Amino acid sequence: MKERSRLSGLRRHLGFAALSGAPAAGTLYAGAAAERRRRFREAERRAAALGVRLVLPLGLCSLPSFVCLGIIPVVLALLPGGL
């Protein structure tokens, strides 16, 4: 599926060059630059979404250690008798 869309973009740029008489290298260069920009924006969008999706699992992993190392010693120190 992706291969077909890549080839259709190539076909579109080469068809434009053939019909207009413009150099094919220029249209292919512009098409490649546009594709790189699109992929970069998509990668940035996916990275931002991953950061949001990782908040809950990382929080659930660090919460038990926070309770064991931060809360329990304070509670034990506040108990009468000092355990």
Assign 3-state DSSP to the chain and report helix, strand, coil percentages, each to 5: 90, 0, 10
Tens of pLDDT, residue by residue over 68-80, are 999 999 999 998 8
Look up the pTM and report it. 0.59
Q: How confident is the model at residue 23 (pLDDT cuts 50, 70, 90)?
A: confident
Q: Is the pLDDT of residue 17 over 70?
A: yes
| CB under 8 A, 24+ apart: contacts of 44-53 | none
Please report, for the chain, the start and end positions of each structural domain, with discontinuous segments joined by +: 2-78
Rounded CA-CA distance 44/37 in Å is 11
Q: Is the pLDDT of residue 50 over 60?
A: yes
**Mean pLDDT (the chain, rounded):** 87
Q: How confident is the model at residue 13 (pLDDT cuts 50, 70, 90)?
A: confident
Which tokens in the block code for residue 35?
A: 């594709």
Length of the chain (residues): 83
CB-CB neighbours of 27 under 10 Å: 19
Q: What's the pLDDT score for residue 83?
A: 57
Q: Residue 39: which H helix or E strand, with range?
A: helix 24-53
- What does the pLDDT average to over 34-47? 94
